[in-house]
Structure 1
Amino acid sequence: MSKEKTVLIANRYKPRDRSDRGGMGEVVFCDDLHLQRQVVLKHLQAGVGAQRLLDEQKALSKVRSKHVVQLYDIVNISVGGVQQPAIVLEFIDGETLNVGSFSADANYLKVIWQISCGLTDIHSHGIIHRDIKPGNIKIDGEGVVKILDFGLSRNSANAETMSIIGTPLFMAHELWGNNKITFDSSVDVYAFGVTCLALLTNEVPLSLLSRPPSQPSRKALSALFAGVHSEITDILHQCLAADSNDRPAMRAIQALLAKHLLKDRHRATVVLNGSANTLDCKNRRISLNATVGSLTIEYDGLDFKVIQVAGAVYINNTSVAVRTVVPGCCVFTFGNDGARKFVTFDVSNPEVMP
C-alpha cells in the first residue's frame, strides 16, 4: 500500500514533521516548493482572537529590515475543519537569545547594536513591538540578529489598551495602569534596556521587579554592567526611566553603540589652503593655524574633540570652545569679515558588521 500523500498548503507549502506551540499560536515548519526554501507557517490556536494575527500581519507587511523576521505570504488553512488565516514567515536557522548568556565584550555590543537597529527600523515605520525580550530575538548562523513575534504590536497612531498585557519584567511603568492605557515607542526602549541587562545576568535590581517598576540607581546598574563603557551604561540607565519622556530614542542608542563598535576606526579628512590632512588612530592630533586663529583637534578613538582654540574660530557659524565634539561633516571658519579662512572637516562612515 502506498503512503498517504502529504497535503500541500496553498498548493505550495509542504509541512515538515515539526511544529511548535506557544501561548496563543502554533507554528508549522514547511518547505516552500516554489522557491525551494524552508519557511514557518504561523496560525492562532482555537479561541484566540484573530486580531492578534491581523496585528502581526499589518506590522510585518510594513517593515523591511535585516534585523526583523520577514513576512512572505498570507494563506488560509483548515484547523479542525474551520478555515482561518495563517502567515508565512522567514525561517531563521539559529538560536534564541538566553538570559545571562553573554559577557560584557565586543560580541555583546554587536548583538545589542543589532537589536537597536531592528527596533529603529520598526519605529521608523510607526510600529511599536510591545514584547521585546530575549525570547523574541534570534541570532542566525551568520551572526545576524532577528526580532520576532509581532503578535502584540501596535501602530503608533492607535497605541492604547484596556488591559495589562505583556511579559512583566519587560513592561514599562506606564503599562501597569488600571484604566485605558496609552503608550508610545518608548515602551520598546524600556524593554530594550531590560533585555540588555538580562543578557548579562538574571540578577536584576529589585526595583525592576516592583509593580509598577521603578528606575534602578545608576550605581546599581554600573555594577551589573561592569566592563561596559560608562557612556553606554548611561544611556541604558536612561532607557529604564519611569517617565517615558526621559527615555532616549532608539536611533540615538543605535548611533552611540555604533560609535563604540567603531572605536579607533574613524577617519577624518581636514582640508586647509587646498592641502588635505588625515586624522585617525595613527595620527590622532592635528593643529590648524590660519593666522587669524588656531585650533587643535584630537581623536580619542570615539570622538574628534577640540583641545585648543585661539582667536575667532567657528564651526558652521557657531563659536568653538575647548572640549567641543566636532560633527562628522562641517566647515571651520577662522576670523571675521574679510580676513576669514575656511577649513573643511569630513569624517568617513565605516560600516558596523555583525
Structure 2
Amino acid sequence: MLIENRYKILNNSDRGGMGEVIFCEDLHLQRQVVLKYLQAGVESRRLLDEQKALSKVRSKHVVQLYDIVNVPGAVSPQPAIVLEFINGEELNAGGLSADTNYLHLIWQISCGLADIHSHEIIHRDIKPGNIKIDGEGVVKILDFGLSRNNATAETRSIIGTPIFMAPELWGDQTIAFDSSIDVYAFGVTCLALLTEEAPLSLCERPPRQPSLTDFSAPFVGLPSEITHTLHQCLAPDRRDRPSMQVIQNLLAKHLLKDRHRATVVLNGTANTLDYKNRRISLNATVGSLTIEYDGLAFNVTQVTGAVYINNTSVSVGMVVPGCCVLTFGSGGSRKFVTFDVSNPEVMP
C-alpha cells in the first residue's frame, strides 16, 4: 500500500502514549521514514504542536520533520507527519555508569535541549523513553507532542510523565511554565540513566528536591561541579535552575579536560601552555605574570606590577580568556603580549 503515492508501508508499526507509528519506505528518496498520526480520541492539537515545534527547530540532536501527509482513517483521511527514522538503541533507566561515556551522552542531550530552547520551544516530556542513539552514536530527542511555545506555555491539567514533572506542574489551577521544566526533567533523566531507584522525595506529589547526599550517590566518580549542577536542576524554585546552555558548557568543559593549548608570544618567541607544560611565567620587566593550566582553564596564579587583560587589571585567580592581549606596564612603557587558546570541540 502506498500513501501519497510515495510512502510504501512496511510490515511493522508501533504505538506510543498518544500516537500511532507506521514505518515506511520513501520511494522517492529511497530511505526509511516514520509516519506518525494520533490515536482515536487524542486531541488533534498534539500533532499540530509537534509539527510546529519540529518545523522551527534545526538540530542534529532532534528528530527531523520531513513531510506532512494524510493517511486513511476509519471515516476519513487523517493528518500524519513524516519523521526521520532513527535506527538505534533506546535509553533505559539504570543502564549506564558514571563515566566519560555517560558525560558524553548527557552532553549531547543538553545540546539538543539548548537548541530547542534557543527556538523558544519547551519540549515538556523529556525522559529516557523519548531519547534515542542512532547508528553513528548521535543522540536524538523525540516526541514533541506535548511541546509548547515559550510565549503560550500554560496548562490547566496535570499532564506528562510523573517523576519527570517539575513541582510547579502539580498545581490545581491554570499553571504557567517555562523551559526550566525541561531542565528539571533533564536532571531527573540524568539520575534515571544511572539508577532505577529514585530518592523517595522525587516520587512525592508534588516532588521535593532530594538532599545533595541522596542525589549524589549514583554520580560517584564524576567532578563535584557537575553533580552539584545536576542537583540544582531539581531546585524547587525554577529561577534557581541553570539554563541548558550553562549545563552544556559545563559538560563540554569537563569533556575537554587537558585538551586545550595556549600559545603565548613574548619577545618574538612562542611558548606553549598545555597538559604537558602546565605553568608559564612571563616577565616583561615592567610587570610579570604566572599562568597555570589546571586542565579546564588557564588561571592567573601570580602577578606583579601593572598587568592588564584586554584593558582590565589582572588579579590572582582570574581566568585568562582565549585570543586576548596581555598588556604589561602603562603609559609609554607598555609591552603587549598575545595569548591565543585553541578551541577543541566535543564531537558526537
TM-score, normalised by the number of residues in structure 2: 0.97
Provide the residue aligned with 1:140 in structure 2. 134
Alpha-carbon offset, residue 241 of structure 1: 0.7
Range with greater deviation from structure 2 (340-349 or 283-292): 340-349
- Give me the whole-angstrom Cα distance separating, in 2, the residues matched to 1:314 and 1:34: 61
The one of 39, 57, 61 equivalent to 2:33 is: 39
The one of 195, 200, 205 equivalent to 2:189 is: 195
The one of 170, 174, 183 equivalent to 1:176 is: 170
- Give me the whole-angstrom Cα distance separating, in 1, the residues matched to 2:234 and 2:211: 10
Tell me which amino acid in the other structure corresponds to 2:314: V
The one of 102, 105, 109 equivalent to 2:99 is: 105
Question: Structure 1 residue 332 and structure 2 residue 333: aligned?
Answer: no
- Give me the whole-angstrom Cα distance separating, in 1, the residues matched to 2:114 and 2:53: 14
Alpha-carbon offset, residue 329 of structure 1: 3.0
Range with greater deviation from structure 2 (223-232 or 59-68): 223-232
Tell me which amino acid in the other structure corresponds to 1:299: Y
- Give me the whole-angstrom Cα distance separating, in 1, the residues matched to 2:119 and 2:185: 19
Q: Tell whether the 8 Å contact from 2:98 to 2:218 is kept in structure 1 after alignment.
A: no
Provide the residue aligned with 2:149 in structure 1. 155
Instruction: List runs of 5+ in structure 1 lacking aligned partners.
Output: 1-6
Question: Structure 1 residue 70 and structure 2 residue 64: aligned?
Answer: yes
Q: Deviations over 1:131-183 (max 9, x none)?
A: 00000000112111100000000011111111111111111121111111111
Tell me which amino acid in the other structure corresponds to 1:287: S
- Give me the whole-angstrom Cα distance separating, in 2, the residues matched to 1:321 and 1:40: 57
Alpha-carbon offset, residue 330 of structure 1: 2.1
Tell me which amino acid in the other structure corresponds to 1:172: A
Question: Structure 1 residue 58 and structure 2 residue 52: aligned?
Answer: yes
Provide the residue aligned with 1:268 in structure 2. 262
Provide the residue aligned with 1:4 in structure 2. none
Question: Structure 1 residue 80 and structure 2 residue 74: aligned?
Answer: yes
RMSD: 1.2
Alpha-carbon offset, residue 270 of structure 1: 1.5
Q: Deviations over 1:281-323 (max 9, x none)?
A: 1211111111111111111111111111112222222222222
Q: Secondary structure at the match of 2:33?
A: strand
- Give me the whole-angstrom Cα distance separating, in 2, the residues matched to 1:342 and 1:235: 38
Alpha-carbon offset, residue 328 of structure 1: 2.5
Q: Secondary structure at the match of 2:10?
A: strand
- Give me the whole-angstrom Cα distance separating, in 1, the residues matched to 2:266 and 2:239: 43
The one of 84, 90, 93 equivalent to 2:87 is: 93
Q: Secondary structure at the match of 1:251?
A: helix
Tell me which amino acid in the other structure corresponds to 2:121: I
Q: Deviations over 1:102-159 (max 9, x none)?
A: 0011110110000001001111111100000000000112111100000000011111
Q: Secondary structure at the match of 2:102?
A: helix
- Give me the whole-angstrom Cα distance separating, in 1, the residues matched to 2:212 and 2:315: 29
Provide the residue aligned with 1:3 in structure 2. none
Deviating above 6 A after TM superposition, structure 1's stretches of 4 or more consecutive aligned residues are none
Range with greater deviation from structure 2 (303-312 or 134-143): 303-312
Instruction: List runs of 5+ in structure 2 lacking aligned partners.
Output: none
- Give me the whole-angstrom Cα distance separating, in 2, the residues matched to 1:210 and 1:159: 24
Q: Secondary structure at the match of 2:3?
A: coil
Question: Structure 1 residue 353 and structure 2 residue 347: aligned?
Answer: yes
Tell me which amino acid in the other structure corresponds to 2:134: D
- Give me the whole-angstrom Cα distance separating, in 2, the residues matched to 1:209 and 1:318: 49
Tell me which amino acid in the other structure corresponds to 1:55: D
- Give me the whole-angstrom Cα distance separating, in 2, the residues matched to 1:316 and 1:248: 28
Across the two proteins, how many residue pairs are aligned to each other? 348
TM-score, normalised by the number of residues in structure 1: 0.96
1:246-257 equivalences under 5 Å are 246-257=240-251
Tell me which amino acid in the other structure corresponds to 1:203: E
Q: Secondary structure at the match of 2:77?
A: strand
Report sequence identity in percent: 79
1:197-236 equivalences under 5 Å are 197-236=191-230
